[in-house]
């Protein structure tokens, strides 16, 4: 019986993307049994396939030949031919997990998802290495996405957590601030930095209903409530509903949707948001994804109409998965936006009209199949358009947040998240400068159907 060697994960991952074509000199008359494994290990499966075709007449049926013939054929787009070769290997070595893994990939590429899932599950049952498990999980997630194009699927989660926030009101730490028009002023203690503990409860649900092989309708909703121990005036409830359509064309996915959201503070309606968004995603390879999106929203503040505005933004993101010991995931996102005040007054422009530039960058590290660490940094620059009479200037803010999240996957349905974030807002207006650190633990139950 063959066993899965450490090269298994490398072979599977390198076979996920189109191999570069380098030139290797070979002798067409003499078959070298070590050449194809070397070519595949060097990520040159195109040359390996050409070499295999020269010797296929005499070597087909040889499992050592068929294994690499199958891998290289699948990588070069000859998926059916590769599947036939790998099936011949399994007839002789039914316990060869490397061959079964590559066969599952071939079924996946032919969109035979049930057979692919069965083969992936068989490999998982044999307890492969952590890197192989992560690769299989990515394929299984992709299968779920693809199957969602043909059958109704749904997913959701319920989260409960608690933590500590050392600045629930985003207040300045210093009680004394400088107001150019008035001079030095002392803030009321309630306007300064306030620390408190909190409990939170969240729920979310998403449904995807295919209308055809290339179109689907989605509907989702979520709600999150946060209750503080003493600073109850900052208790909040945020809930939203979103729906729209998705279109699929090869490696492209397009989404156009509407969203409505309400944010309650201290039991009162604080802000309403209604808008639409467009999202385009292109899968560059099995490990990388490109995203471009735009948003348009109308913001209304029932008790502060001077803050009413319209928000627009466009952005782009990139995600890349690496095949290393920690299965590192890199993600980055950059966006530009503008908020325009509904009221055409200088005061409204000082608080509700601004130009925005933002950037988010992060990494995710996986330690085994149950533990992951996500680190990220978010930066946003806001240039307000109104001249503030009291501060004798236009407001400029530079916001930075650094976050850490440790996630423990207890089982398929249960997770435990521990997060720590530190944020800082630098402003040319003293009253808007603050620092904030939050720590929390969240326990979640997740489910999916379809």
Average pLDDT on 381-392 reads 95
Average pLDDT on 243-270 reads 94
pLDDT above 70: residue 4: no
Q: How far apart are the first and last CA of the chain?
A: 36
Give the pLDDT confidence score for residue 160 in this predicted structure: 98
CATH architecture under which domain 153-449 falls = Beta Barrel (2.40)
Higher pLDDT, 377 or 8: 377
CA proximity to 238, closest of 206, 256, 220, 260: 260
Average pLDDT on 353-379 reads 93
Half-sphere exposure of 190 (CA within 13 A, CB side): 5
Q: What is the pLDDT of residues 114-146, one digit of tens each?
A: 889 899 999 988 888 877 887 888 888 788 777
pLDDT band for position 16 (50/70/90)? very low
b/e map of 206-224 (b: 16 or more CB within 10 Å)? bbbebeeeeebebebbbeb
Contacts of residues 278-285 at CB distance under 8 Å and 24 or more positions apart, as own/partner, are 278/254, 279/253, 279/254, 279/255, 280/252, 280/253, 280/254, 280/255, 281/252, 281/253, 281/255, 282/251, 282/252, 282/253, 283/251, 284/251, 285/16, 285/17, 285/18
Give the pLDDT confidence score for residue 243 in this predicted structure: 97
Query: For the structural domain made of 7-147, what CATH number should be given?
Result: 1.25.40.10
pLDDT above 70: residue 232: yes
Residues of the chain with CATH 2.40.160.60: 153-449
CA proximity to 13, closest of 365, 330, 322, 325: 322
Q: What is the chain's length?
A: 450
Give the pLDDT confidence score for residue 321 in this predicted structure: 85
pLDDT band for position 28 (50/70/90)? very low
pLDDT band for position 3 (50/70/90)? very low
pLDDT above 60: residue 395: yes
pLDDT band for position 45 (50/70/90)? confident
pLDDT above 60: residue 363: yes
Distance between CA atoms of 247 and 8, rounded to whole angstroms?
35
pLDDT above 50: residue 207: yes
Judged by DSSP in three states, 318 sits in strand
Give the pLDDT confidence score for residue 283 in this predicted structure: 86
**Count of Cβ atoms closer than 10 Å to residue 88 Cβ:** 19
Give the pLDDT confidence score for residue 148 in this predicted structure: 63
CA 293 to chain centre: 14
pLDDT above 70: residue 1: no
Residues of the chain with CATH 1.25.40.10: 7-147
Judged by DSSP in three states, 292 sits in strand
Q: What is the pLDDT of residues 190-202, one digit of tens each?
A: 889 999 999 999 9
Distance between CA atoms of 313 and 293, rounded to whole angstroms?
8
CB 35 within 8 A of CB 55: no
pLDDT above 80: residue 229: yes
pLDDT above 80: residue 257: yes
pLDDT above 90: residue 9: no
Q: What is the dihedral of CA 331, 336, 341, 345, to 10 degrees?
A: 130
pLDDT band for position 43 (50/70/90)? confident
Q: What is the pLDDT of residues 304-339, one digit of tens each?
A: 999 999 999 999 999 998 877 777 899 999 999 999
CB 296 within 8 A of CB 328: no
Distance between CA atoms of 33 and 389, rounded to whole angstroms?
82
Distance between CA atoms of 172 and 430, rounded to whole angstroms?
8
CA 368 to chain centre: 19
pLDDT above 90: residue 418: yes
> What are 252's strand-pairing partners?
249, 282
Give the pLDDT confidence score for residue 22 in this predicted structure: 38
Q: DSSP state, 189?
A: G
Q: Percentage of the chain surpassing pLDDT 70?
A: 92
CA dist list (Å): 31 to 27, 41, 52, 274: 8, 18, 9, 67
The residues, ordered by sequence, that sit 6+ positions from 74 with a Cβ below 8 Å of its Cβ are 15, 82, 83, 102, 105, 106, 109
Average pLDDT on 401-415 reads 93
Q: What is the pLDDT of residues 69-95, one digit of tens each?
A: 999 999 888 989 999 999 999 999 988
CB 433 within 8 A of CB 163: no
* Averaged confidence pLDDT in the chain: 88
pLDDT above 90: residue 387: yes
């Amino acid at each position: 019986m063959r066993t899965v060697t450490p090269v298994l994960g490398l072979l599977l991952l390198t076979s996920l993307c189109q191999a570069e074509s380098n030139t290797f000199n070979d002798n067409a008359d003499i078959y070298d049994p070590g050449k194809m494994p070397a070519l595949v290990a060097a990520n040159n499966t195109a040359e390996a396939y050409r070499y295999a075709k020269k010797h296929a007449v005499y070597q087909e049926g040889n499992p050592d030949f068929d294994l690499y013939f199958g891998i290289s054929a699948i990588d070069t787009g000859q998926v059916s031919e590769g599947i036939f070769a790998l099936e011949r290997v399994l007839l002789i070595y039914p316990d060869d997990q490397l061959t079964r893994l590559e066969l599952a990939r071939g079924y996946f590429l032919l969109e035979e998802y049930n057979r692919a899932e069965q083969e992936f599950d068989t490999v998982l049952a044999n307890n492969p290495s952590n890197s192989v498990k992560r690769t299989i999980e990515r394929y299984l997630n992709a299968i779920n996405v693809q199957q969602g194009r043909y059958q109704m699927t749904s997913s959701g989660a319920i989260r409960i957590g608690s933590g500590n926030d050392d600045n629930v009101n985003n207040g300045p730490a210093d009680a004394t601030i400088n107001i150019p028009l008035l001079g030095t002023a002392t803030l009321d203690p309630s306007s300064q930095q306030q620390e408190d503990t909190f409990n939170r409860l969240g729920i979310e649900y998403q449904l995807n209903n295919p209308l055809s092989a290339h179109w689907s309708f989605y509907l989702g909703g979520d709600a999150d409530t946060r209750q503080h121990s003493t600073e109850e005036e900052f208790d909040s409830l945020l809930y939203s509903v979103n729906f729209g359509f998705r279109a699929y064309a090869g490696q492209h996915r397009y989404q156009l949707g509407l969203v409505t959201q309400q944010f309650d503070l201290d039991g009162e309606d604080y802000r309403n948001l209604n808008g639409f968004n467009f999202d385009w995603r292109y899968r560059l390879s099995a490990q990388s994804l490109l995203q471009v999106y735009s948003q348009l929203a109308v913001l209304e503040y029932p008790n502060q109409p001077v803050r009413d505005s319209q928000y627009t933004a466009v952005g782009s993101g990139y995600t890349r998965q690496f095949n290393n010991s920690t299965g590192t995931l890199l993600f980055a996102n950059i966006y530009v936006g503008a908020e325009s005040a509904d009221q055409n007054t200088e005061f409204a422009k000082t608080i509700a009209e601004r130009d925005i530039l933002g950037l988010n960058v992060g990494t995710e590290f996986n330690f085994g199949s149950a533990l992951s660490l996500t680190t990220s940094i978010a930066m946003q620059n806001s240039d307000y358009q109104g001249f503030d009479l009291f501060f004798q200037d236009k407001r400029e803010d530079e916001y930075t947040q650094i976050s850490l999240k440790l996630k423990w996957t207890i089982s398929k349905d249960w997770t435990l998240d521990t997060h720590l974030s530190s944020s800082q807002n630098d402003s040319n207006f003293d009253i808007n400068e603050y620092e904030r650190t939050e720590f929390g633990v969240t326990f979640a139950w997740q489910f999916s159907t379809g």
